[in-house]
Amino acid sequence: MSENLTKRVKIRQAVPDDVSGILKMVAELAEFEDLTDQLVATEEDYQESLFGTVPVAEALVAEHEGALIGYAIFFSTFSTFIGKAGIWLEDLYVKEAFRHQGVGKRLLKALGKIAQERDAGRYEWCVLDWNQNAIDLYKQVGGEILEEWRIVRMDRKGIENLPEK
């Protein structure tokens, strides 16, 4: 990213007025990952989850000339081995026109600063095995790819059926 552009990109905490823009970028991410069929979140869901009575997640946004160009959505975790809270980066997204210019790295570093300020025991996230650009970025900033770990997921139907199994 040119130094001039770098200075004009602002990383900040998301506010309720950002939800519409964040959700539009989430839709772009879903398309990029070929997962549009799984995107069911609404603006109301995001308002409640990020800014409701009991927020369950937080977001940073990258802004350029008044427009949102990226986001990082994260939440607290807990490590039983470390005995401390951590931060899980759920999504990192930068609009295509701003990729490979340092915006993603700035979002990662801004969230890393939050992890440091909160004395987080860990700062973690996952990456799709085919997303080599993201893998390269994460390795560049010092992230360790844990090859031996696998994500286990249970959707709403699985949760509902769990007692029956």
What is the CATH number for 18? Answer: 3.40.630.30
Residue type at 21 in one-letter notation: G
What mean pLDDT comes out for the span 7-22?
95
Confidence of residue 155 (pLDDT cuts 50, 70, 90): confident
Q: In degrees rounded to 5, what are phi and psi of residue 118?
A: -90, 5
**Number of domain units in the chain:** 1
71 is a catalytic site residue: no
Domain of residue 111 covers 3-164
Those residues with Cβ within 8 angstroms of residue 75's Cβ, 6 or more apart along the chain or in another chain: 56, 57, 58, 87, 88, 90
CB 106 within 8 A of CB 9: yes
**What does the pLDDT look like over 72-91, one tens digit per residue?**
999 999 999 999 999 999 99
Helix (H, G, I), strand (E, B) or coil at 77: strand
Q: How confident is the model at residue 5 (pLDDT cuts 50, 70, 90)?
A: low
**Confidence class of residue 1 from pLDDT cuts 50, 70 and 90?**
very low
Residues in the chain: 165
Region 26-41: what's the mean pLDDT? 97
Give 111-123 pLDDT, tens digit per residue: 999 999 999 999 9
